[in-house]
Structures are given as structure tokens and as C-alpha cells.
Copies of this chain bind each other. A is one copy, B any other.
Amino acid sequence: MHRPPTPLILLDRKRGTSLQTQLAQSLKALMQSGVLQPGRAVPSSRELARDLQVSRNTVSQAYDRLVGEGYLEAAPRRGLFVSEVLAEQSVRRTALAPAPPTSPASVLLHQAARMESPVPFRPCQPDVRLFPLPLWNRLRAQALRSHGSNLLQYQSHLTLGLPELRRSLAIYLRESRGVQCDWQQLAITIGSQQALYLLARLLLKPGSRVTMEDPGYLGARFAWESAGARLDPVSIDSEGLRLPRDKRFSADLVYTTPSRQFPTGACLSLARRLALVEFAARTRAWIVEDDYDSEYRYTRPPLPSLQGLDRSGRVIYVASMSKVLFPSLRIGYVVLPPSLVERFAALRAVLDDHGPLVDQAALAAFIESGALYTHIRRSRAEYGDRLEAFTQAASKQGIPFSFPYTDGGMNLAGFVGGPAQEDEYAKRLHQEGLDVPPLTRYSLRPTAPGLVFGFTAFEPRSIRESILRIAVALRRRKKAN
């Protein structure tokens, strides 16, 4: 009888949701993500209750619910099994996953339309269970009361967002990231993706040249491509993005993630930063600085933003609240040079008028109250522990990856000897039900091979257990060869 990886099931007695519901949801997630395969037996309620230290009744009720919803099936005298109707979904997922996506939606559309929770080690996932949701809801209710019905109306003149939120964020960025800005340069967007899309539409035309970090962030690549731009991939080394030395080199736009290059983790050195800003000033290229997870540095503070070094108004700063708060909030932001503000607002108005305002008011109150700073401190400490748990377990189990950039962020690039290993390991871990994408997924040309491990969404116990699973799976594979 197959034992489900119970360390993957995390029950939190302090959450508002009952343990029974939490357990049912965790089991569903394990089935949906393929960790619990169709046809496999689940442990008896007595066994699982003991492993999880909950009452047997809790487990029985969760099982009953999953039987009712068709996730589990009972076989007389043999217990409960993961329903075979889930098989089609898993097969399709296995067949599709190794191919790099050609568009962000084409693959995903064919997947089951259910909500998913991340399995180890999906990159870029915050642990949303750390988010102080009750406090957020209280501040949201207060904002609704204090603004009254105006907050519910059309406010088409607030295309760039609620002024109080723009003000709070501008202060936060000046203090924490050295961004030089007036609040009127700051625009709230639907995630940072919308900022990238709008910038693509405003700054590029078919045939424009975009210098793109390689490997690099797919969301940005899709945005530039949607405007018909041609991509010039440039390699990453330990100092980050390396601009070509060729004097004739030019670009309409350079996209970079200087704080911690996505997905490798290299930090753009000060010398390179100065060179990049100088290049932009000299050639009138735009620089888009995506500062996607700079809140998470564990040993020393991150370098201040590239935007803060720029004196020529060519650096556009993009970031997001998705990772700091919770992703489905969909609040990103961009700091624009004054010359772009009006055109950005005009295009945004055509795109969707303005974003939802109640959440913006709640976020303004959240920052104003100091809760944002508290939450960042708390989650940073927690993620720091997880990073340590990851590197210690990786070292203890001797998994065959090297991790050169372990100073921060939410992900670790684990490099391997060659492309064959990358391909093999990625497939093997995928079969194991883990979500560890190969670096080639983010690459335009062949680059250093490896896999990307996100560690922030998973508790230390789950991290250790998943790394053990990786070690066992890769050893098993070796023997089989």
C-alpha cells in the first residue's frame, strides 16, 4: 500500500478553516498535482490520523467529503483509492509539461480548471498562509466605512490608482529601495504583468530591439513579443546581465532584474549598474528594471534600485505586491519618468479604465498602519529559515546540483553538469510529482543547464522531505541506468 507523503500535508490549528476542510483541500491538491496518482490507495483513517496527530473522525470526514466529490473511490474490503477519473488530467499534464510553453496560456487552457496550490518546489510562490488575512479584512472594512459610497463608484479619473495608495507606495519605495519619485509618477497596475504590457505598447513597435536577460522572465518576454519586438538575448554571469562590449551595440529597451536576476539569482554588480545607466543615457535606450522580490534578502540589504542611480530619466521601475502580500490580489505598480505618465494613463484608460478600488484602499491602509513592514519582516525571517533548511538538506542529501546564489530571493537555481542531466532530472522530478522547471524553459539560446527551485511556499519539514524524495528519486534513476 502506497503511503501518501504526509509531510506534504500541513494543518494549521490557528487558521479559521476546520482541520477537516484543510485536510480535504490538501489531499485534493496532492491529487491534482499528481503527487497522489489515480488508482493509488490512501492510508487508512487510523494511520493518517496518527501521522498528522489529528482525530480519526477528522480524517474520516475529510475522506467522506472526497468520496462525495468523486476524488476518492471505495473498493470493498480494500479501502479507499484515488479515483481513476483524475487519470486523464494527469496524463495530459505529464505529456505537456516538458515542452517549453509557446504562449503563457496555450498549455494552461488544457488543464483542469480547478484552483491549484503550489507543490515543491514551484518558483516565485509566497507562503500565503503567513499573510495576516484577518487584519487585512479589518482594514478593508474600515476603508469601506471611511470612504463611504465614493469608493464603490466609477472613478475614471483615477486611472493610475487611488492617490493615497500611490502616496504610501512612493514613500515606501523611497525609503526601502532608494527609488527617486514623486507619487504622481507612480501607477497602480493589475499585477506587474500589466505594467510590462503597457510599457511594451507605449515604447515598442514592430521591429524594435529589446535586450533580454537570457535566461529571463517569460512574462516580460511575452509582453515584448506581443508588441512585435525582436529579442536580443544576452548572457548572465556572476555579476548579472553582461552588455556586449561592441561599441555599435544598441537597443530600444533593456529588460533587467538587477536585484536578483530571474531565474539564476545573480546580483547585478555596481560597475555593471553604472555602465547600464550610462548606456541608457548615451543611447536614449529605455531600461525596465523589474524589482520583483527585493524584499527578500536574508544576510544583508539589497543594493538600492537601478532607478535611483539614473540621472537621465531612462529607467522605469516595475514591481509588485503579489509576492509580498498574496498573488491573487493582482496589484503591481510602476514608477514612470514624468514624460511617460500621461501617455501611460491614456492607454490604461482604453485598456480597462481603472483597477478595482476597494483592495487599493485596503492596501493603502495596510501600508499606512505599518502592517506591510511588519509582514515583510516576519515573512523574511520565515523564508530565511526555509532557505537554510533547503541548503542544509541539499548538502546533507548530496543532491547533484550546485547552488551558487544563496543570498536571497524566493528561488535557487541549481546548476548541473550538462543539458542531458537537466533534461533527465527535470523529467524524473516531474514524474515524482514535483514542480522544478528546467532553466531552458526560460532561455532563448542554450545557457548554463540547471533547475529552478522555489523554496518560500513550503515549510522546513516539507522542504526536507521533498529534498529527500529528490535524492531517492535521482539515486533510483542512476541505478536503473
Contact = CB atoms under 8 A, between A and B. Distances in A.
Interface of A: 15-17, 21-22, 25, 29, 103-106, 108-109, 111, 113-118, 124-125, 128-129, 131, 133, 137, 141, 144-159, 162-163, 189-191, 193-194, 197, 219, 222-223, 226, 322, 326-330, 341-342, 345-359
A141 B125 CA distance: 23
Contact of A105 (B148, B153, B189, B342): B342
A243 B351 CA distance: 28
A303 to B, nearest CB: 27
B163 A114 contact: yes
A71 to B, nearest CB: 15
A353 B146 CA distance: 31
B353 A356 contact: no
Contacts of A356: 190, 328-330, 356, 359
Contact of A349 (B29, B103, B115): B103
A159 B109 CA distance: 8
A346 to B, nearest CB: 4
B193 A350 contact: yes
Contacts of A158: 113, 115
Contact of A327 (B125, B147, B152): B152
Given A17-B148, A342-B106, A350-B223, A116 B328 contact: no
B21 A347 contact: no
Contact of A358 (B21, B103, B219, B328): B328
22 contacts: A15-B148, A21-B148, A104-B156, A104-B350, A105-B349, A108-B156, A114-B163, A115-B147, A116-B155, A117-B149, A118-B153, A124-B154, A125-B153, A129-B149, A152-B327, A154-B322, A154-B327, A190-B352, A190-B355, A197-B352, A328-B357, A359-B359
Given A25-B150, A153-B125, A330-B354, A159 B108 contact: yes
Copies in the complex: 2
Q: Which 4 A-B pairs have the closest CB atoms?
A: A108-B157, A152-B326, A128-B152, A190-B352
Given A141-B137, A349-B104, A356-B359, A117 B153 contact: yes
B145 A349 contact: no
A96 to B, nearest CB: 12
A351 B104 contact: no
Contacts of A133: 144, 152
A157 B346 contact: no
Given A25-B148, A193-B351, 4 more contacts: A106-B346, A108-B157, A129-B149, A152-B326
Contact of A342 (B21, B109, B358): B109
A67 B341 CA distance: 33
Contacts of A149: 117, 128-129
A74 B48 CA distance: 73
A152 to B, nearest CB: 4
Nearest to A329: B356
B115 A153 contact: yes
Given A152-B327, A157-B113, A327-B154, A222 B350 contact: yes
A145 B347 CA distance: 37
A327 B124 CA distance: 32
Contact of A197 (B21, B219, B350): B350
A163 B329 CA distance: 18
Given A16-B145, A148-B17, A351-B193, A153 B346 contact: no
Nearest to A111: B157
Contact of A326 (B29, B105, B116, B153): B153
Contacts of A21: 146, 148
A346 B190 contact: no
Contacts of A116: 150, 153, 155, 157
A357 B193 CA distance: 16
